[in-house]
Amino acid sequence: MSAPILDPEGAREQLEAWRGRIDRLATDTKAMSDQLQQLRVTATDRDGIVEVTVDSSGSLIDLKLQRVARISGEDLARTIMDTVREAKRKVAARSQEVIESTLGTDSPAAQGIAARVREHLTPPDPTTGG
């Protein structure tokens, strides 16, 4: 079944509605991008030895260590890596919230962006092999 041919005024109205949706999507996408650019998440291990901060891309931007003389180098390295993974999981969750609040949950664009963010930021768990 084909769509009926629109009269010039109907076509103009349909074009204006389409333009409005595109303008809204562009505005929402810019708002999402701005919020994600500013996103920072900090995580601390349960013993308070390691505190890491990652940005929205999952890059480590700050690392603070406390009482490291009490822990072996191997344990310290493992604690740092575990804490970075936790921070990345948190930033992935927060990114999901930003995407949903700006683009909505039904938007195919939002779903695609959220899937890529999750894939990039949620590192495999070395203890489970995945």
Per the model's pLDDT, the better-predicted residue between 75 and 108 turns out to be 75
Average pLDDT, the chain: 88
Residue 6 has pLDDT above 60, yes or no: yes
3-state secondary structure of 51: strand
Architecture of domain 8-121: 2-Layer Sandwich (3.30)
Tell me phi and psi for residue 64, to 5 degrees: -125, 135
- For the chain, the domains span 8-121
What are all long-range contacts of 66-75, with beta carbons under 8 Å and residues at least 24 apart?
none
pLDDT at 1: 54
Q: pLDDT digits over 48-92, tens only?
A: 999 999 999 999 999 999 988 889 999 999 999 999 999 999 999
